[in-house]
Structure 1
Amino acid sequence: MTDAEVLFETRGTIGLITLNRPKALNSLTHGMCVEVKRQLDEWAISPSVQAVVVVGAGEKAFCAGGDVVKVTQSYKAGTSEWRDFFHDEYLMNIAIAEFPKPYISLVDGIAMGGGVGVSIPGDLWVATEKTMFAMPETGLGLFPDVGGGWFLPRLPGETGMYLALTGARIKAPDLYALGIASHVVASDKMGDVIAALANADIKDLDDVRAILDGFHNDPAPAPLAEVMDDIDAAFAGISVEEILETLANNPDEWSAKQFKILMSKSPTSLKLTYAQLKRGEAHDNFRDNMRMEYRMVNHVMRGNDFYEGVRAILIDKDNAPVWKPARLDTVSDRDIEAYFENLGSQELNI
């Protein structure tokens, strides 16, 4: 297989995208984002391509996120690479969301952060028994970007807020129950799925859905179903503080675990993510959400917690980030409002 970071080919009637950095769990680089958007723009007007399918190379991951270590290094070095990365990643997310033909994500393995952004804005999302989904950004001093402000508030009940704040990892049964995964297919059938799509005459999304239906197997009952009432009761709070108070006042083991998890996250990220989802819920379209998230990420880069989270989790791996501010009560509403301020000449160019 070629050394290219992302591969493009046409198979029959489909365009196939393969994220090709298996040793790095297919994490996205700036170049990959640029190339995916460029290819989508081309396939959007190509009569021979009736649908697009995206997969990840290797056995472990679909895509474990973006290359945030390189992003933080760029900012500290004073280069523009970090801004270029987010700018072009978000343009790629928009291109996926607005792609005029069926866009199908075959998510076989880990899908976190940027891997969610290269898949969920599409039309159909296929999980396998190896799929593991998470938006872990509050533990990195960031927020669930790449469209998290759009899709998370639209999940059932308060599950979106729960996933966003805690970074909980979920698998195929929960993904299917929440409607994130449209289908669940055995991992060893993925090649057959691609072949079936490539050999089909795809006129619309219903044609794709009918093909995937033929491979689908209902997963086991969703573990989240057992705590859905608890999620809705706790994560419907009118603030992060109220969510924590509800969890602290519940004596059960699940609530105590969620409380402990939240207390380990960046206080700024928790409040910022809460505000992001509330604002994203009111947006009329995906573009408005991505414009908001681009403002947010530019402001985040000027702070402390993103660098500290990346250091603690991905570089030094001591898992002991020192957040600043360290307490929720020292992160004011005015502090959070500043993350949504217009960037002027540096607004997302869409």
Structure 2
Amino acid sequence: MTPPPDTSDTPTPGAPGTGRTPGAPEPRGTSEIVSSVQGRVGRLTLNRPKAINALSHPMVNAMDAALRDWEHDDQVDAVLVDGAGERGLCAGGDIRSFHADACSGGTGSLGFWADEYRLNHRISSYPKPYIALMDGIVMGGGVGISAHGGVRVVTERTRLAMPEVGIGLVPDVGGTWLLARMPGESGTHAALTAGHLSGADALYAGLADHYVPSERLPALIDALTATADAGNPAKIVEEFTAAPPPSALEADADWIDACYGAPTVEAILARLREHGDPAAAAAATEIEGKSPTALTVTLRALRAAAGLPDLWSALVTEFRVSSASLRSHDLREGIRAQIIDKDRSPRWNPPTLAEVSQEQVSVFFAVPPTGDLRPHEG
């Protein structure tokens, strides 16, 4: 299993734009976010390159504040989001902080998740074009600040994933909503294996709109920020697109749909083992290393999300699940094994799928003691 990256680090003060784009402005607000208006585009650059731009709570708040300001700014026609450095847009949240919170009995993660999920919802309903450059690693929270946008750009370097089940968590940031709406059972496959999707896969999955070779990104950013009218960025992006390679996820659709349509994780594994395709057997091996509890809760959350009326409803459910996860054994143990001690040998409890009871699963969907996720006040 490929573990989620260790995103503990400090920002690079004053880092300009992305590592591919010259001439970005001086940072404003927090050093972890470069916020500026270039031409008629409000630009947000995540600025923790050594941590693959993992989201901190101040970064979430800074992004939300900028979006609120630009929503009513007549000088801003669109918003552009990218990441500093060469490794990716965003590797997710600061996992070590979740571990510290879980071990100490703290509640700081709940505040972070609440603000993050509200940001995801704001992005999904933003009244101006929201352009996300999904180059390199885009995981967890990185999906939340990009895949809910209106103009989503991937490249040949895109590696997109929702890897939560590997650390005892469940896909969040609206991930259950997105995964449940991918073609066939491809979202279930991506969630349970925590596998990486290529840029071509993301297009097939409906998580992206445009494929632009990474070498063209600097020119694309220049074109977006130089135009006198950035109100139709999709038209500008089209000038830089190329034909994507074939999607491996699409090529595997037959066995994915045949195996992941089963009603339980145990039945899915049985179908994968019996199918005969080497890729199906490899998927089973990946799933068997993940948290049995997280896998079971994830499958139930995905099936439920498919019938929900909107993204906000999914985010409310995800907040319940994340709140319960913060107090679970498997979150502490998963992060310990993958990030803290790096022994890659988590001791899950319960250790098998057969031992995960429906009563245990139902706890994750109950209203948390702190209450449900509440909308923004403004």
Query: What TM-score, normalized to structure 2?
Result: 0.89
Q: Is 2:277 the partner of 1:252?
A: yes
CA shift for structure 1 position 118: 1.0
Partner of 1:319: 344
Quick one: which of 245, 248, 271 aligns to 1:223? Answer: 248
Partner of 2:146: 119
Deviations 1:68-108 (A, max 9, x none): 11122023223332221111111111111121111110011
Quick one: which of 20, 23, 29 aligns to 2:50? Answer: 23
8 A Cα contact 1:138 1:265, kept in partner: yes
Gaps of 5+ in 1: none
8 A Cα contact 1:51 1:202, kept in partner: no
**Structure 1 range deviating more: 133-142 or 80-89:** 80-89
**For 1:114-193, what aligned pairs fall within 5 Å after superposition?**
114-193=141-220
8 A Cα contact 1:153 1:160, kept in partner: yes
Deviations 1:301-342 (A, max 9, x none): 111001111111111111110100001111122221221111
Distance 1:305 1:329, change over 3 A: same
Q: Is 2:31 the partner of 1:2?
A: no
Letter in 2 for 1:287: W
Letter in 2 for 1:272: V
Secondary structure of 2:79 counterpart: strand
Partner of 1:37: 64
CA shift for structure 1 position 113: 0.6
Quick one: which of 48, 64, 71 aligns to 2:75? Answer: 48
**Structure 1 range deviating more: 241-250 or 70-79:** 70-79
Partner of 2:335: 310
CA shift for structure 1 position 178: 2.3
Gaps of 5+ in 2: 1-12, 16-30
Distance 1:203 1:172, change over 3 A: closer
CA shift for structure 1 position 254: 1.4
* Alpha-carbon distance in 1 for matches of 2:46, 2:371: 29
Q: Is 2:313 the partner of 1:288?
A: yes
Secondary structure of 1:233 counterpart: helix
* Alpha-carbon distance in 1 for matches of 2:368, 2:335: 24
Quick one: which of 333, 338, 342 aligns to 2:358? Answer: 333
8 A Cα contact 2:40 2:76, kept in partner: yes
Letter in 2 for 1:79: G
CA shift for structure 1 position 148: 0.8
Partner of 2:118: 91
Aligned residues: 348
* Alpha-carbon distance in 2 for matches of 1:328, 1:161: 17
**4+ runs deviating over 6 angstroms:** none
Q: Is 2:286 the partner of 1:261?
A: yes
Quick one: which of 224, 246, 267 aligns to 1:242? Answer: 267
Aligned CA-pair RMSD:
1.4
Query: What TM-score, normalized to structure 1?
Result: 0.96
* Alpha-carbon distance in 2 for matches of 1:217, 1:145: 31
* Alpha-carbon distance in 2 for matches of 1:105, 1:251: 39
CA shift for structure 1 position 252: 2.6
CA shift for structure 1 position 223: 1.7
